[in-house]
Amino acid sequence: MIVVITALAGLVSPLSANMYIPSIQVVRDDLHTTQSAVTWTVTAYILGMAIFPLIWSNLADRYGRKPVYIASMFVYTCGSIGCALSKSLVALIISRVIQAAGSSAVQSSGAGTISDIYPREQRGTALGIYYLGPLLGPCLGPLIGGYIGQDVGWRWVFWVLTMWGGVMMMLAIFVLPETHRRIVSKKHRIQQVNIAPLLSLKENNPLLDLTTARYPAVALALFHFAMLFGTYFTNSTGQPLAYQNIYHLSQGMSGLCFLASGFGCIVGSTCGGRVTDILLARRKRILIENAKQNQEEGATPVDIVVPAEARLEAVWAGTTMFLAGIVIGGWLIDKHISLAAVLVMQFFIGTGMAFTFQSLGSYLIDVFPTKSARITGVQNFWRSIWGAVIVQVFPTMLDNIGWGWSYTVMFFLALLSFVGIMIVVYRGTALRERYGPPTTL
């Protein structure tokens, strides 16, 4: 139940980012602005998603998960009301920032909740279920928002989100329990493991969390996270333009096309989570067998520490699928080739992104087991910053070099980060032993 509620709360942020995208051209006309200007309603939201999780994750580690969920859903609901009532572009952008401030808490605190209640050996599967929320949002948002915007207008998109935020706030108040290990152990007087010490307000500085990027292995993982997310989010914002302007679909039908990547996300996230747990268990068995063969005195399963890089051994499969979907899909749109073929590539993009997303998220939590919410906030910051940049640049890229080359540019950026993450797969343990963070979990 906790995982399901957390996943549903995690759906709020990406739903809000993408739900009104099929109506963005209507919003542009209704508010008498330009395509470039109205894109700031998306960019401002992504920037909010980048910055505010750093604050929420620190609050969650200090005061607990439950108060953060309640407060953030209240802020989110207020921001959604503001969006629905906005009469100008400036008012809409400000309301979108408030909306992002509220919705973004679960992006970091949600992973912290999963880390609180599941041991390392089962964490990948649980995170696979949790990540369904954040990953399905970009797919379900345009589908739901397309029909709402088409039938009753774009403002009702935000009224629906207001109601969703209210429901999530009620669940946080009356159903969701506190899971933070330090708070639970103190309240119920039970012994917990991997409990982060309570930091002072001065030490509890969100900017200090960003310094985790000084570790080479962590920096390469964050870089891959950012490149893939930026490409994925840009693809999600660009698809309605392709469906409506090139394939001449209605708002509702263009939203329906997002089911392809949605199904891919379900496959990738559920399989990816299970695969990371299997890889971890397999590596542990190998290490135990090696210890027995070498007759190391006192070597038992308890003594065996499996390096976090075991989680990444299959990351190549997800990334390869994602990269193929991006570059082929971009050129299919550029040449106006079969919509069915484009949707097949969208399925590959969704599957590859979810698989890789889950693997990287599990890896970073394993590296920072007592800072799961905070390291998730850090990776959310870097990926959202890059997402904001590439989304804002994307319309200009389309105007100047077209769909095919725009997607090819994103392909090569993601390919560069792929090289980096493969270095982590093969040399990550050595990098962490030399440069940090420590390999002991």
Instruction: Write out pLDDT tens, residues 83-102.
Output: 999 999 999 999 999 999 99
Check pLDDT > 70 for residue 202.
Answer: no
The pLDDT value recorded for residue 131 is: 79
The pLDDT tens digits for 13-71 are: 888 887 887 788 889 999 988 877 888 898 899 889 889 999 998 888 888 899 999 99
Check pLDDT > 80 for residue 422.
Answer: yes
Check pLDDT > 60 for residue 201.
Answer: no
Check pLDDT > 70 for residue 193.
Answer: no
Check pLDDT > 60 for residue 301.
Answer: no
Residue type, 160: V
Mean pLDDT of 272-288: 87
* Percentage above 90 pLDDT, the chain: 44
Check pLDDT > 90 for residue 1.
Answer: no
The two tokens of residue 418 are 């792929």
Mean pLDDT of 332-358: 94
Number of other residues whose CB lies within 10 A of the CB of residue 21: 28
Check pLDDT > 50 for residue 440.
Answer: no
348 vs 283, higher pLDDT: 348
Check pLDDT > 70 for residue 293.
Answer: yes
Q: What is the rounded distance in angstroms from the CA atom of residue 434 to the CA atom of residue 428?
A: 10
**Taking all residues of the chain, what is their mean pLDDT, rounded to a whole number?**
87
216 vs 4, higher pLDDT: 216
The pLDDT tens digits for 392-417 are: 899 899 999 999 999 999 999 999 99
The two tokens of residue 414 are 């993601």
Q: What is the rounded distance in angstroms from the CA atom of residue 212 to the CA atom of residue 216?
A: 9
Mean pLDDT of 184-209: 65
Weakest mean pLDDT among 113-127, 237-251, 356-370, 408-422: 113-127
CA 14 to chain centre: 8
Check pLDDT > 70 for residue 389.
Answer: yes
Residue 427's closest CA among 275, 309, 314? Answer: 309
DSSP code of residue 198 = P
Q: What is the rounded distance in angstroms from the CA atom of residue 285 to the CA atom of residue 294?
A: 14
The pLDDT tens digits for 125-135 are: 888 888 777 77
The pLDDT value recorded for residue 116 is: 84
Check pLDDT > 60 for residue 143.
Answer: yes
Mean pLDDT of 294-306: 61
The pLDDT value recorded for residue 60 is: 86
- The total number of residues shown for the chain amounts to 441
The pLDDT value recorded for residue 109 is: 85
The pLDDT value recorded for residue 194 is: 56
Weakest mean pLDDT among 12-16, 174-178, 210-214, 437-441: 437-441
DSSP code of residue 11 = T
Number of other residues whose CB lies within 10 A of the CB of residue 319: 25
Check pLDDT > 90 for residue 225.
Answer: yes
Check pLDDT > 80 for residue 212.
Answer: yes
The pLDDT value recorded for residue 86 is: 95
Mean pLDDT of 347-353: 95
CA within 13 Å, CB half, 295 = 0
The pLDDT value recorded for residue 388 is: 84
203 vs 235, higher pLDDT: 235
Mean pLDDT of 3-21: 84
The pLDDT value recorded for residue 337 is: 93
The pLDDT tens digits for 326-340 are: 999 999 999 999 999
Report H helices in 257-371: 259-293, 315-334, 339-367
CB 384 within 8 A of CB 225: no
Q: What is the rounded distance in angstroms from the CA atom of residue 91 to the CA atom of residue 129?
A: 36
Check pLDDT > 50 for residue 155.
Answer: yes
The pLDDT value recorded for residue 269 is: 87
The two tokens of residue 164 are 């969703």
The pLDDT value recorded for residue 332 is: 97
Q: What is the rounded distance in angstroms from the CA atom of residue 265 to the CA atom of residue 259?
A: 10
CB 207 within 8 A of CB 363: no
Q: pTM of the entire structure?
A: 0.84
**65-104 burial code (b ≥16 CB/10 A, e <16):** bbbbbbbbbbbbbbbbbbbbebeebeebbbbbbbbbbbbb
CB 280 within 8 A of CB 121: yes
Number of H helices, E strands in the chain: 19, 0
- The answer for residues whose C-beta is within 8 angstroms of residue 162's C-beta and 6 or more apart is 77, 80, 81, 84
CB 173 within 8 A of CB 181: no
